[in-house]
Amino acid sequence: MNSTKTHLRMTGFMNIALPLSLILLLANTSIAQTETETPFAGDRLTLVRDGKEHHLVGDIQIEAQDDSLYFVQDNGRIWFVQPDEIKERIDSDIDAPPASFEAMEKSLLEELPEGFKIYKTEHYIIAYQTEKAYAKWIAQLYEKRLYKAFQGFWRKKKLQLNDPKFPLVVLVFKSKAEYQRYVDRDLGPGQDIVAYYNMLSNRVTMFDLTAGDRRPGEQISARRIDEIFQNPAAIYMCATIIHEGTHQLMFNRGVQTRFADTPLWMNEGLAIFFEAPDLRNKSGWKAPGLVFNQRLYRFKNTLRTRPQNSIQRLLTDDDRLNNPETAADGYAEAWAFNHFLFNRKSKDYIAYLKEHSEKPALAEADAEQRLEEFKKHFGDDFDKLERAFLLYIQKLR
Ligand SMILES: [Zn+2]
């Protein structure tokens, strides 16, 4: 498989190995390879990949013994670079400033298929191929609701956030077919997902979910979009958009670090904790942390067959969420466990999250280390924790 590692809804991360040769020498620093000092800000790389030349400005964040690189481009894209792809490399002592909104807009329009336009907000660049009203609806959901709710939530929890370093890019295709063509290129063929956040590109990609609900020739309005999203049958649509937008915010506001060792129950559990819909609200979503009845019901249903030491297994082994056969149950438990921790062990959970947020990219943790990290904040009496967890869930309405 290729080297993309994306964030997928329902199936979890794709099981794609990172380059094994990436043995870490240095983190967050770069070695000057050129003798002369360069006045440029940012490291410059010319790469040849799939016969195409790429001229990149950014920062070499990690360099491996075999000269492969973990490179963060100034637009937020991460490149795992193999030594034989490097045609030219010029290092700089000065960090690359992030690309401007204008520069990113320009390169997005060059890269994307025909018909794309840009809708901008304070933090987001929505590149859309559908009607402006839909792009605006998504922009408002992300900027005015999710971004604000995200900020308010963590402020209350006393977790310091960073401002996003890069503009937050969202691609909205006009149809499922156009979107699928992009997904096939971005992730490889065979992915059937409604929307996704790609950790490499740092983008959320989706398509106009109301396209199928339009009356022939209908010009869509914000009110009509609300109506479509408020339909109970569409419950997962808005939840998915929030879910993927939450992943993007987690990684761009410093709650999580891309490609760091974050257990999947936390990674996904946080996004599900945020996504729970509110159908009384006009866009179908209001705030993080509501009870997601479908997940709760699913989790309660698993209780009789739930594996022994389920919490420990959730902490140490991502397979339950990755395996399509057990993923729905795993996600339900990840949601339930996050709900419990945020509402009953909030301080400990925030301290635990904060510790994870400081982990560097690509550093791995084995099962034992993951357990130790958890025990450090929550103690080692898992039976007691399990009882408190189940009692909390039984009472949850
Ligand atoms: Zn997810």
- Ligand 1 centroid to Cα of residue 292, in Å, is 15
Model pLDDT for residues 129-182, shown as the tens digit of each residue: 999 999 999 999 999 999 999 999 999 999 999 999 999 999 999 999 999 999
Give 91 Cα–ligand 1 centroid separation in angstroms.
Answer: 35
Find the range with the poorest average confidence among 13-17, 38-42, 94-98. Answer: 13-17
Please answer whether residues 73 and 81 qualify as being in contact, where contact means their C-beta atoms are separated by less than 8 angstroms: no
**CA neighbor of 82 nearest in space, from 182, 10, 193, 3:** 3
Do the Cβ atoms of 249 and 352 come closer than 8 Å? no
At residue 210, what is the residue type?
A: T
Query: From the CA of 339, how far away is ligand 1's center (Å)?
Result: 16
pLDDT confidence bin for 23, thresholds 50/70/90? very low
Tell how far the Cα of 384 is from the centroid of ligand 1, in angstroms.
29
pLDDT in tens, 204-256: 999 998 887 777 778 888 888 888 888 777 778 888 999 999 999 999 999 99
Query: Helical H runs in 257-366?
Result: 264-275, 293-302, 310-316, 319-322, 327-344, 346-357
Band of pLDDT at residue 379, cut at 50, 70 and 90: very high
Q: What is the pLDDT of residue 16?
A: 37
Better pLDDT: 220 or 279: 220
- 288 CA distance to ligand 1 middle (Å): 15
186 pLDDT tier (thresholds 50, 70, 90): very high
| Axis-axis angle for helices 327-344, 264-275 (nearest 10) | 80
pLDDT confidence of residue 33:
46
Q: 181 CA distance to ligand 1 centroid (A)?
A: 21
Q: Where is 248: in which H helix or E strand? A: helix 235-252
Q: How far is the CA of 272 from the centre of ligand 1 (A)?
A: 7
Q: Which residue has the higher pLDDT, 194 or 252?
A: 252
Å from CA of 47 to ligand 1 middle: 31
Q: Where are the alpha helices (DSSP H) in 70-113?
A: 101-111
Question: What is the distance in A from the centroid of ligand 1 to the CA of 11?
Answer: 8
Domains in the chain: ranges and CATH: 6-90 (2.30.30), 101-255 (3.40.30.160), 293-395 (no CATH)
CA 112 from chain centre, in angstroms, equals 21
What pLDDT was estimated at residue 38?
60
Would you state the pLDDT for residue 72? 97
Residue 318 Cα, ligand 1 centroid: separation in angstroms? Answer: 13
pLDDT of 14 over the 90 cut: no
Query: How far is the centre of ligand 1, averaged over its atoms, from the C-alpha of 246 (Å)?
Result: 9
The separation between CA 135 and the C-alpha centre of its own chain, rounded to angstroms, equals 20
How many Å lie between the centroid of ligand 1 and the Cα of residue 251?
Answer: 12
Instruction: Give percent of the chain with pLDDT exceeding 90.
Output: 70
Ligand 1 centroid to residue 12 C-alpha, Å = 6
pLDDT, tens only, 304-351: 988 889 999 999 999 989 998 999 999 999 999 999 999 999 999 999
DSSP 118-173: EEE-SSEEEEESS-HHHHHHHHIIIIIIIIHHHHHHHHHTT---PPPSS-EEEEEE
275 CA to middle of ligand 1, Å? 10
